Structure 1
């Protein structure tokens, strides 16, 4: 059963989504709220939207116009908006990969807290999660609940294929196999698809 979400944060998420929809700015819900939208469990409590980099200035203008505080932090992969202290990340380059029209097409329209919006696919969510692991950040405890709760929705062969360059992702997939969460994708399937 999915965990309950913070109602204030959910309200902020809905207002950002409604503003982006009204402005016809392409976006997708990502992060822990996307996991929640798919019926999964995430231990994180943040709101992430994916947008294209060319839309970031207009997104900030539209959100500022309806009362959000905006911030362009020194990191060059996201911008932030705030409502009464609640933060929303607008990410245009997750895991060093630009958000494209193709990224935003890899979504499902789901009713999230009573508002329909594009939600990043469970497969793409898992790919982003695995590609975020590095020698500086490799906390599998955040990835395991996501993998367990969304395993039937995830194309594991695609995950293995698209994360093949990462030893951390491979270690995580081996761990899932050893824990009997999902079998490790067959090598020939990974190579054949790549």
Structure 2
């Protein structure tokens, strides 16, 4: 269901940025909580994330600066930021090129589907990669499974669980989460493990 843009100004900012990226031909895809929303899922965050390749970061900032966004290169080294300076204040978009230590590549940007987000068509990251990103954010310093449960439950049929198991096997926090959602009946951990091993 579409969100009225007067009630969710981030949607208008998201569409504005996507339009200008498409106009300039910069490869990108929608990620994060709005990608979950676009796929019909339940989102628990309220920010805008796009994935881009690192070599396109300067082009993104140039393109958006030319249409009124305020851009910045933060010290983290894996993203750039842009603020849409609207009447309601600065609305932030993160343009990420290395989420959870996984550099964005052409393969990442093809692991998408074109989906209408409030009537604006754009590439949206796959549910599988969204789930992988979510579980790989957890560490000894931050581990909030409550933020992953709505994504797993609402997108469960779209997620390739053997791939999630295989690509997050190095993380004990990911394994603990998969064990939890197995017990909750969201997915079958034994099936995911067996199918992953068969690849």
Q: TM-score interval w.r.t. the shorter chain?
A: over 0.9
Q: What's 2:197 paired with?
A: 191
Q: What's 1:108 paired with?
A: 113
Contact persistence 2:30–2:125 (CA under 8 A): yes
Q: What's 1:81 paired with?
A: 82
* 1:192 Cα offset (Å): 2.2
* 1:191 Cα offset (Å): 2.0
CA displacement 1:11-37 (0-9 Å, x = unmatched) = 000011001000000000000000000
* 1:98 Cα offset (Å): 0.6
* 1:148 Cα offset (Å): 0.4
Cα RMSD for the two superposed structures: 1.6
Contact persistence 1:157–1:185 (CA under 8 A): no
Q: Distance in 2 between matches of 1:147 and 1:4?
A: 26
* Uncovered stretches (5+) of structure 1, i.e. residues with no partner: none
Change (3 A) 1:57 1:185: farther
* Uncovered stretches (5+) of structure 2, i.e. residues with no partner: none
Contact persistence 2:31–2:130 (CA under 8 A): yes
CA displacement 1:44-96 (0-9 Å, x = unmatched) = 00000000000000100000000000011100000000013110000000001
Q: What's 1:40 paired with?
A: 41
Count of paired positions = 193
Q: Aligned pair 1:65/2:70, yes or no?
A: no
Q: Aligned pair 1:16/2:17, yes or no?
A: yes
Q: What's 1:96 paired with?
A: 101
CA displacement 1:81-123 (0-9 Å, x = unmatched) = 0013110000000001110000000000000011100000001
* 1:184 Cα offset (Å): 1.1
Contact persistence 1:13–1:47 (CA under 8 A): yes
TM-score (normalised: structure 2): 0.93
Q: Distance in 2 between matches of 1:73 and 1:119?
A: 25
Q: Distance in 2 between matches of 1:188 and 1:148?
A: 21
